[in-house]
Amino acid sequence: MNRLLTYLFRTALAAILAFITLPLVVVVAASFSPTSAVTFLPSEWTLQWYAALWDSRWLDPFLLSVELAVIVSLASGLLGVLGAYSVAYAKCPGHTAIMALLLSPMSVPQIVKGVAVVLFLSSIGLYDLLGTPGLVMAHIILTLPYVVRMAATAMFGFDKRLDRAARILGASVTQRIRYVLLPLIRSGLFSGMTFAFIISFNNIPLSVFLVRPGQTTLPITVINHLEYSLDPVLAAVNVASLLFILGAIILFEKIGGFSAQFHGGSK
Amino acid sequence: MTTIDIELLSVSKQFGANRIVDDISLAIPKGKFVSILGPSGCGKTTTLNMIAGFEAPSSGQIRIRGRDQEGVPPEARKIGLVFQNYALFPHMTVAQNVGFGLKMQGRPREEIADGVSRALKSVHLEGFEDRYPKELSGGQQQRVAVARAIAPSPSVLLLDEPLSNLDLKLREAMRVELKEIQEDLGMTFIYVTHDQEEAMAMSDRIIVMQGGVVAQEGAPADIYGSPRTSFVADFIGKSNILPASAEPGADRNLKVSLGAGKAVLTAARGDDVAPDNVRFCCIRPEAVRLAEAAGALDEPANRLTGTVQKVVNLGAYIEAWMLVDGGITLKSMIRSTRLEKLSAGCRVDLAIAHSAVQLLEQ
């Protein structure tokens, strides 16, 4: 019986993994296809679609998306850690309500959020903020809950006796945050910021309301392109984005070390 | 003249309607090892937290080095604290942990390195500088915690049950070491514990707390030898505590009636107890001796006969329960060289020195 269950679970796991990875395999294969129709397992291989990416048509949106993702993850990281500190650590008055409010953007459909941001900006006469500034703001709203969530979880798990220990050793509140709290929640914070980065970089439903001609993010450019043609250049874009995101995750993990728990140092 | 390092003047602490610490006054002399001893809930940890500044007294005053500490936060009190769970910073090496206090004071790098190696040397942990706390045993973590607390050279070190997470052997070894460290540094140690053996082994002075008040304060030998209340007698060491009443007897001694008057003992008169106020009598088990062994006793003693009820061999000592005439049971601690003479049911002659019969008011 147990053996049967084990096999069942393994099969299920394999199916899930296949479901996740196979479409990626198809995309990767298609990106090397010489014909302009997307085909799986092409008979010949070419890099022409990757070469085609080296064009301002794709590069500009890519750079805007990167810029956005960097600004958004940093800003969310900063705001998120401040929010989590007052809510989860210092337990300011009404902290449970504030926490719910901070997390609420998670449960609002992004389309609704997008419309709301546009209406809000135009109603207060700041319609000009559409484009990059609006994108930054909207993406921060979108990603902040993830960072708050991760940072708050890390702070809930923080042993307050460490704060007392630092205190009796003469550390001021800023010293305690800098030398004790932040290093210990760093992995939580960085994993939240990684989420923020990826979410911002990949976002479509919110960005679609806020981009302007000449200020378009990469995913929106892909969508626009898709309206006219489905060709392997899109596969190439996807593969390139995938590699970029992978690189970003590795970089975040190098800085933040969020996969490593404190299992004895060697760091 | 001894100077006073820490002074508590009528300090109370209330949480809601709960009075955790009730009007206690203490003077802790500089350079002494002082233990605050009591069962859980007696207010000892709250007292420690008030001295450290983590909690403010509801009333009264705390003075450190002569200065009133009202409104002074813990980070400005310049005292050390060793936590029960050590509270080492897990992301820092041993050296970084120990150097933390000096670093927070903004000391130059060389001075920090100096202080770290000196502190590690006094806890015998040289060579562990680059380890992380998780890589150390409980005993080693304990030493790091002590080193971290003493590195900034505070004049007072508070220790909150620091040995309770260690196993017995290590605990006994650390007792000796802590005492040595304290003497070497000449630092005032305030040691909070519920373990009376620990307190007896290390302290110059013991403050016994019960229910938020100081039950007794004094040198370990005094507290053991002349407990003032049945609580102290019971908490410190083992003892026979029996309801008793007393009246003046011959030779300025007191006649003590036990077990509803069926047993009568003579007690040397203590100066501090009026016969009318006597409620309990305390006899330490080691004072209940076999008459033959007590033959050489050069002080007047009560002679009793009894029946051995139960014998427990503790190795160096045996513990025996004796039912003596008059229907009272006394616990006795006897050198185990006499084991062959004792077994349940046999009759024994006992001797209890007059001075060993202690009279208590409460």
Is residue B168 assigned to a domain?
yes
Is residue B118 assigned to a domain?
yes
Alpha carbon of B164: minimum distance to chain A alpha carbons (Å): 17
Q: What is the mean pLDDT of residues B226-255?
A: 83
In chain A, which residue's Cα lies nearest the Cα of B84?
A: A161
Q: What is the mean pLDDT of residues A193-205?
A: 93
Alpha carbon of A260: minimum distance to chain B alpha carbons (Å): 12
Contacts of the segment A99-104: beta carbons below 8 A, 24+ positions apart: A99/A148, A99/A152, A102/A144, A102/A145, A102/A148, A103/A145, A103/A148, A103/A149, A104/A145
Q: What is the pLDDT of residue B193?
A: 93
In chain B, which residue's Cα lies nearest the Cα of A174?
A: B104
Give which of B196, B194, B158, B154 is closest to B178, Cα–Cα. Answer: B158
B247 and B308 part of one domain: yes
Nearest by CB: A262 against B83, B90, B104: B90
Q: Do A169 and B152 touch (CB under 8 A)?
A: yes
In chain B, which residue's Cα lies nearest the Cα of A184?
A: B91
Alpha carbon of B91: minimum distance to chain A alpha carbons (Å): 7
Nearest by CB: B100 against A166, A183, A262: A166
B175 and B290 part of one domain: no
Residue in A158, A169, A177, A267 to test binding to B, most B beta-carbons within 10 Å? A169
Those residues with Cβ within 8 angstroms of residue A169's Cβ, 6 or more apart along the chain or in another chain? B75, B80, B100, B101, B104, B148, B149, B152
In chain A, which residue's Cα lies nearest the Cα of B152?
A: A169
With a cut of 60, say whether residue A178 has pLDDT above it. yes
Tell me how far apart the alpha carbons of residues A207 and A194 are, in angstroms, rounded to a whole number: 19
Is residue A262 assigned to a domain?
no
Q: What is the pLDDT of residue A1?
A: 72
Give which of B120, B78, B73, B124 is closest to B97, Cα–Cα. Answer: B120
Q: Do A165 and B89 touch (CB under 8 A)?
A: yes
B37 and B76 part of one domain: yes
Radius of gyration of chain B (CA): 24
With a cut of 50, say whether residue A265 has pLDDT above it. no
CATH number at residue B242: 2.40.50.100
Last residue of a domain, one of B156, B191, B226: B226
Percentage of chain A beyond pLDDT 90 is: 45
Is residue A27 assigned to a domain?
no
Alpha carbon of B22: minimum distance to chain A alpha carbons (Å): 25
How many folded domains does chain A comprise?
1
Q: Do B75 and A263 touch (CB under 8 A)?
A: no
Is residue B232 assigned to a domain?
no
Q: What is the pLDDT of residue A52?
A: 85
The 10s digit of each residue's pLDDT in B9-57 is: 999 999 888 889 999 999 999 999 999 999 988 999 999 999 999 999 9
B288 and B164 part of one domain: no
Is residue B83 assigned to a domain?
yes
Residue in B98, B103, B104 to test binding to A, most A beta-carbons within 10 Å? B104
Residue in B100, B102, B137, B144 to test binding to A, most A beta-carbons within 10 Å? B100
B80 and B219 part of one domain: yes
Average pLDDT of chain A, as a whole number: 87
pLDDT band of residue B296 (cuts 50, 70, 90) is low
With a cut of 80, say whether residue A38 has pLDDT above it. no
In chain A, which residue's Cα lies nearest the Cα of B98?
A: A169
Alpha carbon of B185: minimum distance to chain A alpha carbons (Å): 18
Q: What is the pLDDT of residue A34?
A: 82
A239 vs B326, higher pLDDT:
A239
Q: What is the mean pLDDT of residues B60-65?
A: 92
Alpha carbon of B159: minimum distance to chain A alpha carbons (Å): 12
Last residue of a domain, one of B197, B226, B255: B226
Q: Do A164 and B93 touch (CB under 8 A)?
A: no
Is residue B231 assigned to a domain?
no
Partners of A264 on chain B (C-beta within 8 Å) are 132, 134-135
Nearest by CB: A165 against B87, B103, B135: B87
pLDDT band of residue B261 (cuts 50, 70, 90) is low
Greatest extent of chain B over all pairs of C-alpha atoms, in Å:
75
B169 vs A38, higher pLDDT:
B169
Q: Are strands B156-160 and B80-82 parallel, antiparallel or unpaired?
A: parallel
Is residue A4 assigned to a domain?
no
Partners of A170 on chain B (C-beta within 8 Å) are 75-76, 78, 101, 104-105, 152
Q: What is the mean pLDDT of residues A218-237?
A: 87
Give which of B204, B228, B184, B265 is closest to B35, Cα–Cα. Answer: B204
How many folded domains does chain B comprise?
2
pLDDT band of residue A26 (cuts 50, 70, 90) is confident
Nearest by CB: A168 against B74, B91, B103: B74
B36 and B142 part of one domain: yes
B209 and B320 part of one domain: no
Q: Are strands B205-210 and B33-37 parallel, antiparallel or unpaired?
A: parallel
B217 and B248 part of one domain: no
The 10s digit of each residue's pLDDT in B129-178 is: 999 999 999 889 999 999 999 999 998 999 999 888 888 888 888 889 89
What domain range includes position B139? Answer: 4-226
Nearest by CB: B52 against A168, A184, A263: A168
Alpha carbon B229 to chain centroid distance? 15
Alpha carbon of A160: minimum distance to chain B alpha carbons (Å): 9
8 A C-beta contact, residue B155 and residue B78? yes
Partners of A179 on chain B (C-beta within 8 Å) are 100, 103-104
With a cut of 80, say whether residue B298 has pLDDT above it. no
CA distances from B44 to A180, B25, B174, B179, B191 (A): 28, 13, 21, 20, 10
pLDDT band of residue A262 (cuts 50, 70, 90) is very low
The 10s digit of each residue's pLDDT in B173-202 is: 888 989 999 999 999 999 999 998 899 989
ipTM: 0.82
Average pLDDT of chain B, as a whole number: 87
Is residue B233 assigned to a domain?
no
B351 and B307 part of one domain: yes
8 A C-beta contact, residue A145 and residue A113? no
Give which of A180, A199, A187 is closest to A252, Cα–Cα. Answer: A187
CATH number at residue A143: 1.10.3720.10
What domain range includes position A156? Answer: 55-217+252-256
B220 and B261 part of one domain: no
